[in-house]
């Protein structure tokens, strides 16, 4: 289950609210469930709000000066009401349940009821005169507290390393996305790096064909009837009738067309597709790696008629 956070703050100013929203989005990006008072109606949703508050794994008080003033002197304000509820369950919670983030609060003021409790605090104050602004270190320290990790980072991996690893994984996952290796059109031209994916999908539904290739020669490739094709055959005639192109189908697993040659493939529905090989790049494992790829033009036959043709009447 995702760790849940409840954030209590004052609507001190638009820039302050924007800062809080940025913090919320940072934690949501990290996978946390975050609740803030912007979604709460203090009247009819009181019970729901209390459930969210008491069920939260951690509560963060964004303690700017205005927040502390409202908590202490304005009990009927939103901040005052939230503090009353937080205080009512505070003693039942572990010491790690609540922490304070000091923002525009250089004296580190806390609501009066919380001073003697000495909660964990994080300094998010900005000091413009010395160009000292909160950033990565504060966010990381807060994250480590939320996760129950020690403040000592002797055994920690830097966030930059973790993000770099995540980026590597995501790049490969994006490259593996099947949509990169599919074209629903009934006729088109395709270049396919056949080592990157096990097959390239043409068409859709009963007119879907999954083509698998591998290197054969400098100007030729293997094409396989694997991945759902029922048959494949090399078209050996220069001039052929598309209505009878199925005569070239063979029962074997592969064909080896050269550049300029065509093959016909049949899927499990008996539909046909003509593939013309336009270019071949054989894989080269040298100082400069060159991936193997095949460029082909295809045409899926509908009712044994080529795409864009019409039946005569």
What's the CATH code of the domain at 92? 3.40.50.10140
8 and 149 in a single domain? The answer is yes
132 and 210 in a single domain? The answer is no
For the chain, helix (H) and strand (E) counts, in that order, are 6, 15
Q: Which of 95-99, 140-144, 268-272, 303-307 has the lowest mean pLDDT?
A: 303-307
Task: State which of 155, 190, 217 marks the end of a domain.
Answer: 155
**pLDDT band at residue 311 under the 50/70/90 scheme:** very low
Range of the domain at 8: 4-155
Let me know if residue 166 belongs to a domain: no
Of 219 and 40, more confident: 219
Question: pLDDT by residue (tens digit) across 205-247?
Answer: 999 999 999 999 999 999 999 999 999 999 999 899 989 999 9
Do 228 and 201 form a contact (C-beta atoms < 8 A)?
Answer: no
98 and 27 in a single domain? The answer is yes
Count the domains in the chain.
2
Backbone Cα Rg of the chain: 32
Task: State which of 120, 155, 190 marks the end of a domain.
Answer: 155
9 and 147 in a single domain? The answer is yes
Please give the Cα distance from 206 to 262 (Å, whole number).
Answer: 22
Q: Residue 172 above 50 pLDDT?
A: yes
CATH number, domain of 278, equals 2.60.200
Q: For residue 157, how many other CB atoms are within 10 A of its CB? A: 9
Let me know if residue 309 belongs to a domain: no
Instruction: Identify the pLDDT of residue 41.
Output: 54
190 and 83 in a single domain? The answer is no
Q: What angle do CA 186, 190, 191 make, to 5 degrees?
A: 165
* Exposed/middle/buried for residue 128 (C-beta within 10 Å: 0-12, 13-18, 19+): exposed
**pLDDT band at residue 37 under the 50/70/90 scheme:** low
9 and 151 in a single domain? The answer is yes
Please give the Cα distance from 192 to 196 (Å, whole number).
Answer: 8
Let me know if residue 313 belongs to a domain: no
Q: State the average pLDDT for the chain.
A: 89
140 and 187 in a single domain? The answer is no
Please give the Cα distance from 229 to 225 (Å, whole number).
Answer: 5
136 and 185 in a single domain? The answer is no
pTM: 0.63
Q: 123: phi > 0 → left, psi -120 to 50 → alpha, else beta; which?
A: beta
Let me know if residue 161 belongs to a domain: no
116 and 187 in a single domain? The answer is no
**pLDDT band at residue 304 under the 50/70/90 scheme:** low
Instruction: Identify the pLDDT of residue 306.
Output: 47
Task: State which of 155, 170, 190 marks the end of a domain.
Answer: 155
Let me know if residue 293 belongs to a domain: yes
Let me know if residue 67 belongs to a domain: yes
Of 211 and 302, more confident: 211
The terminus-to-terminus CA distance of the chain in angstroms comes to 65
Of 106 and 304, more confident: 106
147 and 195 in a single domain? The answer is no
Q: Residue 312 above 50 pLDDT?
A: no
Q: Which of 16-25, 143-152, 235-244 has the lowest mean pLDDT?
A: 143-152
144 and 215 in a single domain? The answer is no
269 and 231 in a single domain? The answer is yes
């Amino acid at each position: 289950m995702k760790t849940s956070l409840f954030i209590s703050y004052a609507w001190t100013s638009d820039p302050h609210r924007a800062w809080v929203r940025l913090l919320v989005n940072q934690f949501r990006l990290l996978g946390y469930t975050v609740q803030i008072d912007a979604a709460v109606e203090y009247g009819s949703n009181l019970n729901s709000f209390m459930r969210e508050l008491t069920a939260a794994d951690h509560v963060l008080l964004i303690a700017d000066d205005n927040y502390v003033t409202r908590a202490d002197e304005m009990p009927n304000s939103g901040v005052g009401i939230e503090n009353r509820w937080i205080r009512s369950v505070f003693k039942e919670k572990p010491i790690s349940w609540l922490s304070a983030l000091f923002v525009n609060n250089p004296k580190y003021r806390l609501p009066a009821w919380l001073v003697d409790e000495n909660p964990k605090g994080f300094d998010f104050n900005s000091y413009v005169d010395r160009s000292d602004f909160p950033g990565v270190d504060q966010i990381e320290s807060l994250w480590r507290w939320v996760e129950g990790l020690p403040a000592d980072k002797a055994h920690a991996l830097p966030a930059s390393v973790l993000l770099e690893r995540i980026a590597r994984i995501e790049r490969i996952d994006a490259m593996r996305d099947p949509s990169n290796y599919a074209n629903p059109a009934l006729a088109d031209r395709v270049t396919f790096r056949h080592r990157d994916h096990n097959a390239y999908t043409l068409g859709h539904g009963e007119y879907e064909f999954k083509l698998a290739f591998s290197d054969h020669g400098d100007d030729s490739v293997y094409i396989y009837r694997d991945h759902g094709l029922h048959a494949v055959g090399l078209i050996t005639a220069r001039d052929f009738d598309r209505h009878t192109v199925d005569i070239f189908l063979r029962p074997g697993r592969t064909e080896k067309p050269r550049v300029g040659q065509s093959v016909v493939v049949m899927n499990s529905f008996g539909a046909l597709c003509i593939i013309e090989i336009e270019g071949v790049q054989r894989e080269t494992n040298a100082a400069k790696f060159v991936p193997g790829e095949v460029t082909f033009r295809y045409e899926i036959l509908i009712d044994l008629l080529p795409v864009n043709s019409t039946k005569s009447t």
